[in-house]
Amino acid sequence: MRKIPGTLYILSITRGQDEKLDISIIYRKEMVFQKSNVKSDEIPILIENFLNNNSLVIPKNRLQKVVNDEFQVLSTKANKPYMENAVFELLKESNDRTIDEFKKIVIIGLGNSGKTCIYERVFEGKKPWELLHSSVTKGISYKNYDLGSNFKPNIWDLGGQQEYLDKYHTSLSGNIFSQVNTFIFVIDISDPEKYDRSIEEFSWAMNQLNKYGAKDNIYVLFHKIDLIHEKEKISSFLKQKILKINQNAKIFETTIFNESLFSVWSDIIQKISPKSLYINTILKEFKNVIAIEDALLIDRNSGLTIGSTLKEQNDEIMSAMLSLLTYSLDRFSRELSLNGFKSILLTTETLQFRIYNLNKDLLLTLILNANLTEEILKNIEEFTQKISVNLIQIWGG
């Protein structure tokens, strides 16, 4: 049995009659598709049709690989009954997957609101101009990203065209809203004609989340904020509408052209990763012992802050800007083939920023007073080396 990539469906191929094959697809222990006595070359077509009917699109080469892998297993093992195989694979998958690893993040909004760009900008490092002509998401797209050990955010990107929204409201709602860890609703703030529909869709989504028990980590993004003029007035108007439906929703104004998306995702990652709690505790102790203003731990692959001593209310933007700065400097050094810097020092009249290359996954940024003595700076360097070992072990060990 094999998991169909980018989905939660599991494929099973067994021997049928007259050298033909039986195909089954299961979802959460339930059989959702079965076809008996089919030829091997018919199987990819059957699977593709099933996925299309459920608004899922999987690249044909990835689909063919799953089928080929299943054929290989079929040729080397005795044929077991369907349910025996199904239970075995589900138990194995459950045991292999830790609680920390699976974090389901659902992103929804009307068509052309910029949902795909919101995570590709950060997790895939795409430049803004590379995102300007992104293709429309057809149905539901699934993507996994690795952050630290045993932590893989699973992003469900839901296409916003009306034909897909109709399906979300009916047969697919249970699949979408069950086990949601973080919910992101995107509003194209540059399109006033869609405000009312967006609010209605958000209200419906909140009812679904309440129904399936996922009430925490609600984010609303007023996206494409760079395209409007009366930002404060329009944002305030929409904010009142959103908070009337869910007063705990966290609202961000975002665009692909600045640090705002790094701010959003850093906030999300620090909330859903249990390791961030321990990292923040270490950084706070670090701040108390040594004469530093603040400290941030940054994931090198995404540029996200995964731990910080900055106060959320006052320094959310500063945190995101430092993340983007640190990430950009790291990318710059790699593109120049500098073979990995040990540290970078930036100074102003009142502050200095020291960026340390801890390992292939982590960067540590310290904010210090510009007038520290050489002795204090030496102590900071020594303490940084000691604390770096703990940070590396927690995030990557």
Question: What was the pLDDT predicted at 78?
Answer: 43
Q: Which whole-number Å values give the CA distances from 88 to 30, 78, 83, 196, in the listed order?
A: 14, 14, 8, 48
Say how many domains are in the chain: 3
**pLDDT tens, N- to C-terminus, the chain (397 residues):** 778 877 778 888 876 555 578 788 887 766 778 787 788 878 888 888 888 888 787 777 777 788 877 776 665 444 444 333 433 443 344 344 444 456 889 999 999 999 999 999 988 888 888 888 777 787 888 888 888 666 788 899 998 888 888 888 887 888 888 889 999 999 999 999 999 999 999 999 999 999 887 778 999 999 999 999 899 999 999 999 999 999 999 999 999 998 899 889 989 988 888 788 888 888 888 887 777 889 999 988 888 888 888 875 445 666 677 777 777 777 777 676 666 678 888 888 888 988 898 988 898 999 998 888 888 888 888 888 888 888 888 887 5
240 and 298 part of one domain: no
| Neighbouring residues of 225: CB distance < 8 A, sequence distance ≥ 6 | 189, 231, 235, 253, 254, 255, 260
Count of beta carbons in the 10 Å neighbourhood of residue 9: 21
- State the pLDDT at residue 83: 34
Domain boundary among 96, 120, 139: 96
Question: What's the whole-model pTM score?
Answer: 0.72
Q: Give residue 198's pLDDT.
A: 97
- For residue 266, tell me if it sits in a domain: no
Q: Same structural domain for residues 121 and 246? A: yes
**Do residues 173 and 108 lie in contact, with contact meaning Cβ atoms separated by under 8 Å?**
no
Task: Kindly tell me the burial class for residue 349, based on how many C-beta atoms sit within 10 Å of its own C-beta (0-12, 13-18, 19 or more).
Answer: exposed
- Specify the 3-state DSSP secondary structure of 107: strand
| First-to-last C-alpha distance (Å) of the chain | 30
Which of 96, 113, 137 is at the close of a domain? Answer: 96
The residue among 55, 60, 50, 63 whose CA lies nearest residue 4 is: 63
Res 86: pLDDT: 38
Q: What's the pLDDT at 343?
A: 84
| Cα–Cα distance for residue pair 308/279, rounded to 1 Å | 8
User: What's residue 91's pLDDT?
Assistant: 37
Domain identity same for 116 and 240: yes
265 within some domain: no
Token reading at 5: 């990539």
CATH number for position 312: 3.30.450.30
User: What is the pLDDT at residue 89?
Assistant: 44
Q: Are 370 and 350 in contact (CB under 8 A)?
A: yes
- Residue 139 shares a structural domain with residue 237: yes
Domain that holds residue 30: 2-96
* 262 part of a folded domain: no
Distance of alpha carbon 113 from alpha carbon 98, whole angstroms:
33
Give me the pLDDT at residue 18, please. Answer: 55
54 and 84, same domain (yes or no): yes
* Residues 242 and 325 grouped into a single domain: no
Mention every residue, 6+ apart, whose C-beta is less than 8 A from residue 315. 294
Q: Where are the alpha helices (DSSP H) in the chain?
A: 43-53, 60-76, 82-96, 115-123, 128-131, 162-168, 173-177, 195-211, 231-245, 260-272, 274-289, 312-335, 374-396
Q: Do both 92 and 163 map to the same domain?
A: no
